[in-house]
């Protein structure tokens, strides 16, 4: 049951990410990031699947290179690449999805359904 | 769009194929992890693909924002995972230092980069940090530590007893090679606190669990805490580290370099 929830959740994040990149806009996350509380971005990593969060955290927070992450997590380089790429995409999708939920935008979202 | 004038195939189809292959490389491109040839291929593709340009901005923005955020490094979950890896690759007996040497080099490099950033920021804020004896909570902690050491520490370790009556949680060190052997109640800068003593690699490490306000109230500490996620200093071989979690503060004191101490609580 939990698994199915996870899959639906990830699909939602992927859809939100898709919306962001389909816009073709430069600096697509600028406004979202500006509205965030300090420290909440690293915290948001906890809401995406662990293998992605871990790869992103090791690279962006701890400054490890891809090769080092591959060593520490015992996976091939290609996997590290796709986990970092996808991890950041899911994180972006999460930021976007959460931003959509905020009160001032809820009026525009009426009729979306629970 | 994308008329490369190659031998076969409709130009649009070819571009679409390239896109599928190259969009996977946008993240490593942003992180400087591609070979020269791969880099060139991505650059060529970016010229004609707005979606990938957007994706590149997204990857860079998040990467920078995460790097910039204040707060100590590893999440508990991640730290446990790294420790589990160290355990798996250990080739030495239980008693000896349990981490694989290569992993230690990697972890130290990560922690060193955190420490270096911390140092750079402190220097930028204008000169040497104040001597610890002038910061009340540290002065009291060092004095309490000395007192406990001369009395050979209380003979028992009872977390429940010291936690009783405290308005904040105690977060004992959870690294694999520390051993808690003594706990006591005390008071630092007028605030109730808990002292915990551990054995670690042949030395004693003292931890003080304190309320968050106590650390935040000290201007010397709060600056470093909000910029780097931790405060660290050392005098005459004694290292001190202060860290803030959401609901409690921690001080660590030991005859060890602060970089080694941050490893215990990051």
Q: How many CB pairs under 8 A join A and B?
A: 126
Q: What's residue B132's pLDDT?
A: 78
> B232-252 burial, b if ≥16 CB within 10 A, otherwise e?
bbbeeebbbbbbbbeebbbbb
Higher pLDDT residue, B88 or B69?
Answer: B69
Tell me if B107 is assigned to some domain. Answer: no
What's the pLDDT tens digit per position in B158-169?
Answer: 888 999 888 888
Residue B182 within a domain: yes
A57 closest CB neighbour out of B51, B75, B114: B75
Best of B21, B22, B24, B27 to disrupt the A interface (most A CBs within 10 Å) is B27
Across residues A20-27, what is the average pLDDT?
Answer: 91
Average pLDDT over residues B37-51: 93
Query: Of B57, B27, B30, B64, which is closest to residue A85 (Cα–Cα)?
Result: B27
- pLDDT tens for each residue of B223-248: 888 887 889 888 767 889 999 887 88
- Asked if B63 is an interface residue toward chain A (Cβ–Cβ < 8 A), one would say yes
List b or e across B174-207, with b for residues whose CB sees 16 or more CB atoms inside 10 angstroms.
eeebbebebbbebebbebbbbbbbbebeeebbbb
Nearest residue of B to residue A87, measured between CA atoms: B59
Q: Which residue of A has its CA nearest to B33?
A: A66
Please determine, for residue B33, whether its predicted confidence score (pLDDT) is greater than 80.
Answer: yes
Q: Is B106 on the interface with A (CB under 8 A)?
A: yes
Report yes or no: B90 at the A interface, CB cutoff 8 Å. no
The pTM assigned to this predicted structure is 0.48
CATH of A2-22+38-109, one of 1.10.275.10, 1.10.20.10, 1.10.10.10, 3.10.300.10: 1.10.10.10
Question: Which bin fits A68, alpha (ψ -120 to 50), beta or left (φ > 0)?
Answer: alpha
| CB < 8 Å from A in window 241-260 of B | none
Q: What is the pLDDT of residue B115?
A: 39
Nearest partner of B194 among B183, B202, B204, B178, judged by Cα: B183
Residue span of the structural domain in which B182 resides:
129-265
> Average pLDDT for residues A36-63, to the nearest whole number?
89
Percentage of residues in chain B having pLDDT higher than 90: 29
- pLDDT at B99 exceeding the cut of 50: no
Residue spans per domain, chain A: 2-22+38-109
- pLDDT of B50-85, one tens digit each? 999 999 999 999 999 998 886 655 555 555 555 555
Last residue of a domain, one of B68, B87, B114: B68
Inter-chain CB proximity A91 and B27 less than 8 Å: no
* A20: closest CA of chain B, how far (Å): 8
Same domain membership, residue B148 and residue B47: no
pLDDT at A96: 92
Alpha-carbon gap, residue A77 to B25, rounded angstroms: 12
pLDDT score at A62: 81
Q: Are residues B134 and B257 in the same domain?
A: yes
CATH code, B171 = 3.30.200.100
By Cβ distance, the residue of B50, B73, B103 closest to A24 is B50
Q: Are residues B61 and B134 in the same domain?
A: no
Residue B87 in any domain: the answer is no
Q: Mark whether B134 and B258 lie in a shared domain.
A: yes
Q: Count structural domains, chain B.
A: 2
Do B60 and B147 have their domain in common? Answer: no
């Amino acid at each position: 049951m939990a698994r199915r929830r996870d899959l639906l959740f990830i699909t939602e994040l992927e859809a939100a990410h898709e919306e962001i990149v389909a816009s073709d806009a430069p600096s697509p996350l600028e406004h979202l990031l500006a509205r965030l509380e300090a420290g909440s971005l690293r915290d948001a990593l906890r809401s995406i699947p662990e293998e992605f969060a871990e790869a992103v955290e090791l690279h962006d927070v701890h400054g490890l290179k891809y090769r080092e992450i591959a060593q520490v997590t015992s996976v091939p380089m290609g996997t590290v690449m796709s986990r970092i790429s996808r991890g950041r995409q899911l994180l972006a999708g999460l930021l976007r999805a959460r931003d959509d939920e905020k009160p001032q935008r809820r009026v525009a979202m009426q009729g979306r359904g629970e | 769009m994308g008329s490369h004038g190659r031998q076969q195939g409709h130009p649009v189809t070819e571009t679409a194929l390239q896109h599928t292959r190259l969009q996977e490389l946008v993240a490593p491109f942003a992180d400087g992890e591609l070979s020269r040839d791969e880099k060139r291929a991505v650059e060529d593709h970016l010229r004609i693909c707005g979606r990938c340009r957007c994706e590149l901005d997204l990857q860079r923005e998040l990467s920078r924002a995460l790097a910039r955020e204040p707060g100590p490094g590893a999440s508990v979950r991640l730290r446990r995972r790294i420790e589990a890896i160290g355990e798996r690759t250990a080739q030495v007996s239980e008693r000896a230092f349990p981490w694989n040497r290569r992993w230690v080099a990697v972890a130290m490099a990560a922690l060193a980069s955190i420490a270096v950033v911390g140092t750079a920021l402190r220097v930028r804020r204008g000169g040497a940090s104040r001597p610890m004896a002038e910061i009340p909570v540290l002065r009291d902690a060092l004095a309490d530590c000395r007192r406990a050491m001369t009395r050979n520490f209380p003979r028992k370790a009872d977390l429940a007893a010291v936690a009783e009556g405290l308005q904040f949680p105690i977060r004992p060190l959870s690294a694999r090679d520390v051993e808690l052997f003594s706990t006591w109640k005390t008071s630092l800068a007028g605030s109730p606190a808990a002292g915990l003593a551990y054995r670690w690699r042949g030395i004693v490490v003292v931890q003080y669990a304190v309320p968050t306000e106590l650390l935040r109230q000290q201007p010397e500490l709060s600056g470093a805490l909000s910029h780097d996620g931790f405060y660290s200093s050392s005098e005459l071989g004694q290292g001190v580290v202060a860290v803030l979690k959401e609901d409690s503060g921690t001080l660590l004191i030991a005859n060890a370099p602060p970089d080694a101490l941050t490893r215990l609580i990051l």
